[in-house]
Amino acid sequence: MGEEFRIGTRLGGEEVTRLHAGDVVYLTGELFTMRDQAHLRALEILRGGGRLPFDLAGGTVYHCGPLVKGNKVISAGPTTSMRMERSEGELIERTKLRCILGKGGMGTSTLGALKRHGAVYMEYPGGAGALAARSITGIRGVFWRELGDPEAVWVLDVKDLGPCFVTMDSYGNVLRRKP
Amino acid sequence: MKPEIIAEAIRILETDIPPDVEKALERALQSEGGLSRQVIAAMLENIRLAREGGVPVCQDTGSLVFFVRTDMGCRELFNAIREGVALATESVPLRANIVDPLSRRNTGNNLGRWNPVVHMEPSHDGRTRIGILAKGAGSENVSAAAMLDPDQGSDGIRSFVTKAVENAGAKPCPPIVVGVGVGGTLDGAVTLSKRALMRRLDELSPDERGKELEEKLLQEINSLGIGPMGFGGKTTALGVKAEFADCHTASLPVAVSIQCWALRRVVIEQEGAEAVIRRF
C-alpha cells in the first residue's frame, strides 16, 4: 500500500513528483468536470489558437457528468476515463493541467503525456456518486452548458474528496496491467 | 396506470440498491483486501448515503429499460411510461442522459426516439407487471453480442462471455453482474441478456443447462482476477444470469449485458385498480 496525502487541486511540478501509483489522495479545491464533448471543444479552441474561458494550468480535470439540480450537486461520481484517451494527451500538453480524476484507467498516449509534462491520473470509486457529492461544497461556475448538463464544464469546490487512488504517476508507473 | 406511479417506482429504483446485491457486496468486503477492499467499503457507504438522503446512488441514472407484461391497452401504458420518465427526471431528479446520436444534442427530459426502451408482451393472468432497469453507460459500453456457429456450443458461449468481461476490465465498475442471452435472433439474444439482469442473484435458472452455464461462467469470470474497480481480487462478478430462446437451425446468437455493481431494478405489479411497487 502507498502513502496517504491531503493536497490541493492546483499542483506544482514538485508536488506531482511526490505522488506514486498506489497512493491514496484526498483533494481539496476546485475541479473542472470535463468529459467527451468538453474535451473535443477545448481542443478545437486551442488548436485554432484561442483561449479557454477557464484556466486549467496546474489544475485538476474530473471525468464526470454530475447530476445537478438548481445550484446543488446531487450525485457526482466519475465516468469511464478511457473514452477520453484520444484527447487527453493533447489536452495535457496544451493546457499544462497536472491532475486527472476519473475511473477505469487510461492508455499509453495519456501515460506518455503524464510523464512528459509532469501530471498524475487518479481514480475515485466508480458509481459512488452520492458519496462524492457529500465532499462537494459548492458550484463555482459552469461553462458550455449548451453541450447539455452532463457534458458541460462544472467548476466544483470540493473538500477532502476521496479516497482517490493514484493509478498512473509521472514516472510512467501504472497500478494495473491494462485499462 | 398513472405516470406518478411510474415516477415513484423510478425514484425507489434510483435511490437504493436491491438487498441481494448489497449483501453480495458485504460478502466481497470480507473476502477482498487492499485497495479493492477500500473501494467496496466506499460503495457500501455510498449505498447508505443514497438511501438515507433519498438521492440517486450514481450520477449516471442510466437509460431506463421497461419489461412489461400486460393485457391493458398498449398505447395507454406506453404513454404513462413516457410521462412517468419525464416526471421522474424533474422530481427524483434524474440526469438528462438522452441525446441525438450524431449531433449529441440533449433532449433534456430523458425522452427520445426509442427511449425509454419498452419491451411489451402479453400477460396471461390478467395482471400487469412492469419491471424497470436503469442501465448505466459505463457498463453498457462494454456489453457485446455475437453470432456463433452452432458447432461452437456451450464452450463457445462461455469463451465469448469470458472474453467480453476480460476486455471490459475496470471500465464497467466491477464487481459486475453478467446477463447472458442465448438463442433467438441477434436482437432477441440482446434483449434476453438484459432481461436476465432482472433476476435476483439467488434466483437459479429453471433450466439445468442454464444453471450449469451460470455456475461455470461465474467461476471462470472470478478467476480472471480483475476484482473491484480492476484493483485485483476474487470478486469480479457478483452473479451470472442466463436466459434462453429457440433459434434458427443455422445460428447460435449470444449476447452479454454487463451491469455495474450499482444494479438498479424494481417492479410494479398491478391487479385490478391496485398498483404495488416492489423492490426485489
ipTM score here? 0.95
Backbone angles phi and psi of A29, in degrees to 5: 140, -150
Mean pLDDT of chain B: 97
Tell me the three cell numbers of residue A61. 480535470
- Residue A117: the pLDDT is 97
The pLDDT tens digits for B157-190 are 999 999 999 999 999 999 999 999 999 999 999 9
**Chain B residue closest in CA terms to A152:** B106
Top pLDDT among B73 and A75 is at A75
Closest A-chain CA to B99: A148
pLDDT per residue over A132-176, tens digit each?
A: 999 999 999 999 999 999 999 999 999 999 999 999 999 999 998
A13 touches chain B (CB under 8 A): no
> B252: helix, coil or strand?
strand
Structure confidence by residue, pLDDT tens digits, B96-109 = 999 999 999 999 99
Residues 6+ apart with CB under 8 A from B73: none
Using a CB-CB distance cutoff of 8 angstroms, which residues of chain B are in contact with residue A165?
35, 38-39, 231
State whether B230 and A76 contact (CB < 8 Å).
Answer: no
Is residue A107 less than 8 Å (CB to CB) from chain B? no
Asked if A105 reaches chain B (Cβ–Cβ under 8 Å), the answer is yes
Helix (H) or strand (E) holding A86: helix A85-95
Whether A126 sits inside 8 A of B46 (CB atoms) is no
Length of chain B: 280
Q: What integer best gives the mean pLDDT of chain A?
A: 97
Active site residues of A: 39
The Cβ-side half-sphere exposure at B125, using a 13 Å CA radius, reads 7
Residue B153: what are its φ and ψ, rounded to 5°? Answer: 50, -155
- Whether the CB-CB separation of B274 and B214 falls below 8 Å is answered with no
- The verdict on a CB contact (< 8 Å) between A163 and B229 is no
Using CB atoms, pick whichever of B34, B95, B229 lies closest to residue A125.
Answer: B229
Q: Where in chain A are the domains?
A: 4-168
Residues B23 and A138: their CA atoms lie apart, in Å, by 33
DSSP track, A76-87: ----BGGGGHHH
Q: Which of these, B270, B265, B266, B267, lies nearest to B1 by C-alpha position? A: B270
Instruction: Give the per-residue pLDDT at B272.
Output: 82
A151 in contact with B, Cβ within 8 Å: yes
What integer pLDDT is reported at residue A179 of this predicted model? 52
- Report the CATH number of the A4-168 domain: 3.20.130.10
* Domain architecture of chain B: domains with CATH: 3-16+57-136+264-278 (3.30.360), 138-259 (3.30.1330)
Phi, psi of A21 (to 5 degrees): -55, 130
pLDDT value at residue A176: 82
Q: Give the pLDDT score at A62.
A: 98
Percent of chain B with pLDDT over 90: 95
Contact A105 B42 (CB under 8 A): no
Amino acid at A130: A
CA–CA separation, A113 and A93 (whole Å): 7
Match 412492469 to its residue by C-alpha cell. Answer: B130
pTM for the model: 0.96
pLDDT the model gives residue B38:
96
Mean pLDDT of A101-110: 98
The predicted-structure confidence for B140-156, as pLDDT tens digits, reads as follows 999 999 999 999 999 99
Bridge partners, B115 (sequence order):
B112
Question: Quick check: A75 contacting B, CB < 8 Å?
Answer: yes
CB-CB under 8 Å, B260 with A125: no
pLDDT, one tens digit per residue, over B113-130 is 999 999 999 998 889 999
Alpha helices in chain B (DSSP H): 3-14, 19-31, 34-53, 74-91, 137-140, 153-168, 186-195, 208-222
Is the distance from CB of B20 to CB of B201 less than 8 angstroms? Answer: yes
Is there a contact between B60 and A69 if contact means CB atoms under 8 Å apart? no
Predicted confidence band of residue A178 (pLDDT cuts 50, 70, 90): low
pLDDT at A1: 65
| Shortest Cα–Cα distance, B198 to chain A (Å) | 19
In this complex, do A103 and B173 lie within 8 Å of one another by their Cβ atoms?
Answer: yes
Is some CB atom of chain B closer than 8 A to the CB atom of A155?
A: no
Mean per-residue pLDDT for A87-95? 98
pLDDT band at B198, cuts 50/70/90? very high
